Amino acid sequence: MDFTISDEMQTTLTMIEEFVEKELHPIEFLFLNEPFRDLLPRIEEKRARVREMGLWAPNHPTEYGGMGLGLVEYGLISEALGGSPLGHFVFGCQAPDAGNIEILHLHGTDAQKREWLGPLVAGRIRSCFSMTEIEMPGSNPVLMETSADRNGADYVINGRKWYTTAADGAAFAIVMAVTNPDAAPHERASMIMVPTDTPGFEIVRNIAVMGEAGEDWMSHSEIVYRDCRVPRANLLGDEGRGFVIAQERLGPGRIHHCMRWLGICRRAFELLCTRAATRRIGPSRTLADKEIVQAWIAESAAEIEAARALTLQTAWRIEQYGWKQAREEISMIKFLVAGTMLRVIDRALQVHGGLGMTDDTPLAFWYRHERAARIYDGPDEAHKQSLARRILKRYR
């Protein structure tokens, strides 16, 4: 066993950490308190500098302009970026585009790649992934109601999607729709690319999530597809393969989340320690002298380090053996890291007192929006159940 990080990688990490601290921390207050679009020009400046530094799109294929890093190394970078809510966006590896890029790269036709993949990796356009429906628990495809009917050379899409992240301002959506209603449940749906300027694609509203409807990349839309017609050439992969591709996308996507969450953990932990060490509670005492706060610091440190060690081990396992060989570990870290993150955020918030409730720090932002970490891409309970069933097979 060898836990060494290479010198080269360490240098890259240090560059990124400094960039995040010096360039991104100072615009966080704006991010937390102003409309997202007002901030976009400054974000684009930052992105330009990232490209100049050669650190753009660390996880994406080199032939499309990314750094092409493996999962362990990207994991370390993702941890560094996660410390700011803007990190991944500024470095061109934000969700949901990252997942869509993977799908296009693996399943797109040459024509699709030419038209969409390049601009997407380059950060010139954005995209969204339109799967969830309000009455459909993620795990139950039988209940999907959005349909895409073949009609000549086109698909005609009808249905209502919900919680489509970052649709507002996206160039296209990857839509999941039933193309083969009579097939077996998991073979009914397909993925289809729908440019957002297609007639019949309509954003009904940006859903108010935790008090904020948001806008642009920072939003979750309810979308109606009303006789929305796109060429059959927009099909991604084969018909009826939608759920298989979605599973492939979600598997690695989960570890991407975990890595980003570890970055949030680290930053929240730093805010916790800094606050403790500086907040006066008397003439010569600070919160750091309180044993309860010390216990939170110690517990947070241990939980973060353990979650991190398992996440890196999982990333390594995926790199070595493929993600199917790491399914159990992926389920483990999905709920373990999410839980750790939320506990650390909660402790950090508590130590900040009233200040922690405000948007003067990113803690309240994470507290409310990262609560979803225990829900999206499979709630804790679903991961626990599927993990246990997989384990229990060995005992029968």
Task: Round to the nearest angstrom and report the end-to-end CA distance of the chain.
Answer: 32
Torsion of CA 141, 143, 146, 149, to 10 degrees: 80
Residues 176-195 that bind a second copy (CB under 8 A): none
The least CB distance from residue 353 to a second copy, in Å, is 5
Candidates 117-125, 166-174, 236-244, 310-318: pick the segment binding a second copy (CB under 8 A): 310-318
The least CB distance from residue 388 to a second copy, in Å, is 4
The least CB distance from residue 369 to a second copy, in Å, is 8
Shorter beta-carbon distance to a second copy: residue 227 or 305: 305
The least CB distance from residue 129 to a second copy, in Å, is 14
Shorter beta-carbon distance to a second copy: residue 254 or 317: 317
169 binds a second copy (CB under 8 A): no
Torsion of CA 308, 309, 312, 313, to 10 degrees: -150
The least CB distance from residue 211 to a second copy, in Å, is 5
Element (H, E) at 363: helix 363-369
Structure tokens at 260: 């980003």
Candidates 96-104, 144-152, 204-212, 252-260: pick the segment binding a second copy (CB under 8 A): 204-212
209 binds a second copy (CB under 8 A): yes
Residue type, 141: P
Torsion of CA 102, 167, 262, 354, to 10 degrees: 180
72 binds a second copy (CB under 8 A): yes
Contact by Cβ (8 Å): 92, 121: yes
Shorter beta-carbon distance to a second copy: residue 238 or 270: 270
Contact by Cβ (8 Å): 92, 127: no
Structure tokens at 53: 């530094």
- Per-residue x/- track, 117-156, a second copy (CB under 8 A): ---------------x-xx-x-xx-xx-------------
From residue 320, alpha-carbon distances to 140, 169, 337 in Å are: 31, 38, 22
305 binds a second copy (CB under 8 A): yes
As a whole number of angstroms, the distance between CA 39 and CA 36 comes to: 5
The least CB distance from residue 387 to a second copy, in Å, is 4
As a whole number of angstroms, the distance between CA 376 and CA 153 comes to: 35
8 binds a second copy (CB under 8 A): no
As a whole number of angstroms, the distance between CA 85 and CA 31 comes to: 8
As a whole number of angstroms, the distance between CA 300 and CA 348 comes to: 10
Residues 313-372 that bind a second copy (CB under 8 A): 313, 316-317, 328-329, 331-333, 335-336, 349-350, 353-360, 364-365, 367-368, 371-372
Contact by Cβ (8 Å): 114, 144: no
374 binds a second copy (CB under 8 A): yes
Structure tokens at 373: 């970490």
Shorter beta-carbon distance to a second copy: residue 125 or 288: 288
Identify the residue among 46, 51, 279, 343 touching a second copy (CB under 8 A): 279
For the chain, the farthest-separated pair of C-alpha atoms sits apart, in whole angstroms, at: 79
301 binds a second copy (CB under 8 A): yes
Residues 376-395 that bind a second copy (CB under 8 A): 376, 379-381, 383-385, 387-389, 391-392, 394-395
Structure tokens at 303: 């939980």
The least CB distance from residue 346 to a second copy, in Å, is 8
The 10 Å Cβ neighbour count of residue 246 is 22
Contact by Cβ (8 Å): 186, 243: yes
204 binds a second copy (CB under 8 A): no
Identify the residue among 191, 258, 273, 318 touching a second copy (CB under 8 A): 273
Provide CB contacts within 8 A for 261, sequence distance 6+: 82, 337, 338, 340, 341, 370, 373
Identify the residue among 11, 281, 322, 325 touching a second copy (CB under 8 A): 281
Shorter beta-carbon distance to a second copy: residue 47 or 279: 279
Residues 241-270 that bind a second copy (CB under 8 A): 270
Shorter beta-carbon distance to a second copy: residue 187 or 303: 303
163 binds a second copy (CB under 8 A): yes
Q: How many residues touch a second copy (CB under 8 A)?
A: 97
